[in-house]
Amino acid sequence: NAGVTQTPKFRVLKTGQSMTLLCAQDMNHEYMYWYRQDPGMGLRLIHYSVGEGTTAKGEVPDGYNVSRLNKREFSLRLESAAPSQTSVYFCASSYQGSSYEQYFGPGTRLTVT
Partner 1 sequence: GQNIDQPTEMTATEGAIVQINCTYQTSGFNGLFWYQQHAGEAPTFLSYNVLDGLEEKGRFSSFLSRSKGYSYLLLKELQMKDSASYLCAVRDGNYQLIWGAGTKLIIKP
Contacts with partner 1 by CB under 8 A lie at: 4, 40-45, 58, 90, 98-99, 101-107
Least distance to partner 1 from the beta carbon of 41, Å? 6
> CB-wise, 3 or 83, nearer to partner 1?
3
Residues counted in the chain: 113
Residues 81, 16 contacting (CB under 8 angstroms):
yes
Nearer to partner 1, 80 or 111 (CB): 111
The CB-of-70 to partner 1 minimum distance in angstroms stands at 22
Peptide bond into 83 cis (omega under 30): no
**Is the CB of 1 or the CB of 98 nearer to partner 1?**
98
- List the one residue out of 19, 46, 20 whose CA is nearest residue 35: 46
Query: Considering the complex, what minimum distance in angstroms separates the CB of residue 39 from partner 1?
Result: 9
Closer of 38 and 79 to partner 1 (Cβ): 38
Q: How far is the CB of 104 from partner 1 (least distance, A)?
A: 4
Q: How far apart are CA 68 and CA 32, in angstroms?
A: 8
> Is 20:76 a contact under the CB 8 Å cutoff?
yes
Q: What is the DSSP letter of 96?
A: S
